[in-house]
Amino acid sequence: MITRDEAERIAAQVMGASPADAGQGWELVEFDEGWLIKGTRQPGDIAWGGVARVVERADGVVRRFPSSVPPQRILTQYDKVASRGRVEGRKSPGDMTDGQ
């Protein structure tokens, strides 16, 4: 299982902008199976461009969901929609670098 700190590092690799970048970043919404990456580009948006991403708690895998899977359904019925998400490239928390 990964921690919230590890999920934040993974999300930073996937999303680029840091959560501290006002109006350009993201935040994590925790739920039983992991963390939904919620974009903050526009108030109320759950994801950028209609896509949602999840960092899975079990192993840090990132799944990208199409816009046809509503974020609320991801949060409440993850076991039923997980197969609709595409696994994105992932680095384990120990392999993470800042690109330098």
* Residues 48-71 pLDDT 10s: 457 899 999 999 999 999 989 999
Q: Does the pLDDT at position 4 exceed 70?
A: yes
* Alpha-carbon dihedral sign for residues 28, 94, 1, 57: positive
Q: What is the pLDDT, as a whole number, of residue 48?
A: 45
Asked if residues 17 and 34 have their Cβ atoms less than 8 Å apart, the reply is no
Region 5-18: what's the mean pLDDT?
Answer: 87
Whole-prediction pTM: 0.76
Residue 33's pLDDT band, with cuts at 50, 70 and 90, is: very high
Please report whether residue 100 resides in a domain. Answer: no
Please report whether residue 99 resides in a domain. Answer: no
Task: With CA atoms as reference, report the closest residue to 78 among 35, 47, 49, 38.
Answer: 35
The total number of structural domains that make up the chain:
1
DSSP 30-86: EETTEEEEEE-SSTT-SSGGG-EEEEETTT--EEEE-TTS-HHHHHH-HHHHGGGSE
Q: What is the pLDDT, as a whole number, of residue 15?
A: 85
pLDDT mean across residues, the chain? 80
Please report whether residue 79 resides in a domain. Answer: yes
Give me the domain span that covers residue 74. 4-91
Residue 25's pLDDT band, with cuts at 50, 70 and 90, is: confident
Please state, in angstroms and rounded to a whole number, the distance separating the CA atoms of residues 18 and 26.
Answer: 7
